[in-house]
Amino acid sequence: MKLELKNIEKAFGEKKVLKGVSLIAEGGRAFGLLGRNGAGKTTTIRILMDVFPADSGEILFDGKPIDYNNVQFGYLPEERGLYPKKKILDQLVYFAELKGMNRSEAVSAVEYWLERLGMSEYKNKRLDTLSKGNQQKIQLVTAVAHNPEIVILDEPFSGLDPVNAMLLKDVVKEIIANGKIVLFSSHQMNYIEEFCDSIAILNGGQMVLAGELNQIKRNYPRNRLVVKSEQKQKIYDMYKGNCQNGENDSLIITLDNPDDKKKAMQKLTESFDIDEIKVYEPSLNDIFVEYAGNQA
């Protein structure tokens, strides 16, 4: 399965919200859609799900224009919300039915997922009697119960405790392993790094960076070293001007030439008591700040 967005443009009135967004997401892999608030992520998702049409551009599924009658989407919106006063089982079955399942299929799928998420005991309760985290787990069922080809998860981990986050991670991994296309949108970069093989960063409605996450990281000049040592101050004095403080009490040394890495590492380990030394790879957070920091 392959989903492609090609040069999508959208304007609301005078305001151009998307200025040529393109991306490729494949089955069995997770795709991270990143961007600051107002960058155009939700608009992209809504166009992808046919809530409203794009002004121009095309959406292809397996190389052909997408047919919404044959491709099912599962969506966990960032703004969570179901019917607070309705019985959980009833509304989950209703949503699964709206997605094309018949009643018995819907009931068994919903019951499977409630069981899987440890929520079976609540199925006959009203939604508003549940805690926020549990409501979120219920909401997740609406995104996966109808076995969709494409699953869009917008900030899936926000508001979850570590145990529930772990449970959700397992579920997401299972969905990816089942060959589905998973589209992730989140500001929690650690989760994106954990799940997503490829990412795209939106800034002011434009795609400013897209590709394989590993490749993106590799493409950064590998001329920096991360050093942890008890003799931090001495090292700092030695590399004055090319040295700055990093995370977790480390130092980042920038070399003039990437080829000097080996020599510099050798010199450092010989001269000082080194706890840890490695080539610096930018975190997704750094990449994000660099590309999305000054929103257009």
Partner 1 sequence: MKQFGKILKYELKNFFEDKVFVGVTLFLVVVIAGVMFVPRVLDSIDVSEEDTVSDDREVMLIVADSEENSKALSEVFAEVFNNYEVKAGDSDIEAVKKQITSGEAECAFVLKDLTSYTYYVNNLSMYDDNKAIAEELLTNAYRTNAFMQNGLTSDEVTEILSTPVSGDVENLGKDQMQNFFYTYIMIFALYMVILLYGQMVATNVATEKSSRAMELLITSAKPTSMMFGKVLASCIAGFIQLVAIFGTSLLFYNLNKDFWGENPIVNSVFGMPVELFVSMLIFFLLGFLIYAFMYGAVGSTVSKLEDINTAVMPITMLFVFAFMVVMFSMASGNVDNLLMKVCSFIPFTSPMAMFTRIAMSTVPLYEIVISIVILVVSVIGIGVVAAKIYRVGVLLYGTTPKIGTILKAVLKA
Q: Which two tokens stand for residue 116?
A: 């899987």
Amino acid identity, position 14? E
191: nearest Cα among 293, 77, 284, 75? 284
187 lines the binding site for partner 1 (CB under 8 A): no
Q: How far is the CB of 55 from partner 1 (least distance, A)?
A: 10
129 lines the binding site for partner 1 (CB under 8 A): no
- The C-alpha angle with vertex 231 and arms to 228 and 237, in degrees rounded to 5, equals 100
Residue among 79 and 256 whose Cβ is closer to partner 1: 79
Residue among 110 and 227 whose Cβ is closer to partner 1: 110
Cα–Cα distance measured from residue 83 to residue 69, given in angstroms and rounded to the nearest whole number:
26
Give 64's strand partners: 61
List 38, 56, 62, 84, residue binding partner 1 (CB under 8 A):
84
37 lines the binding site for partner 1 (CB under 8 A): no
Binding mask 139-178 for partner 1 (x = CB under 8 A): x--x------------------------------------
Judged by CB under 8 A, which stretch of 97-105, 173-181, 208-216, 286-294 contacts partner 1?
97-105
Task: Annotate 52-113 with DSSP letters as a single string.
Answer: S--SEEEEEETTEE--TTT--EEEE-SS----TTSBHHHHHHHHHHHTT--HHHHHHHHHHH
Q: How far is the CB of 50 from partner 1 (least distance, A)?
A: 8
List 31, 61, 73, 122, residue binding partner 1 (CB under 8 A):
73
Residue among 92 and 199 whose Cβ is closer to partner 1: 92
Residue among 36 and 146 whose Cβ is closer to partner 1: 146
Q: 87 vs 70, 109, 223, 291, CA distance in Å?
A: 30, 16, 58, 44
80 lines the binding site for partner 1 (CB under 8 A): yes
What single-letter DSSP state applies at residue 290? H
How many Cβ atoms from other residues are within 10 Å of residue 52's Cβ?
A: 11
For residues 48 and 5, the answer to whether their CB atoms sit within 8 Å is: yes
Judged by CB under 8 A, which stretch of 73-81, 181-189, 197-205, 221-229 contacts partner 1?
73-81
236 lines the binding site for partner 1 (CB under 8 A): no
51 lines the binding site for partner 1 (CB under 8 A): yes
Judged by CB under 8 A, which stretch of 31-39, 43-51, 185-193, 260-268 contacts partner 1?
43-51
46 lines the binding site for partner 1 (CB under 8 A): yes
69 lines the binding site for partner 1 (CB under 8 A): no
Q: Which three-class secondary structure state does DSSP give residue 259?
A: helix
How many Cβ atoms from other residues are within 10 Å of residue 291's Cβ?
A: 17
Give the footprint of partner 1 on this chain (CB under 8 A).
Answer: 13, 46, 49, 51-52, 73, 75, 77, 79-84, 86, 94-95, 97-100, 139, 142
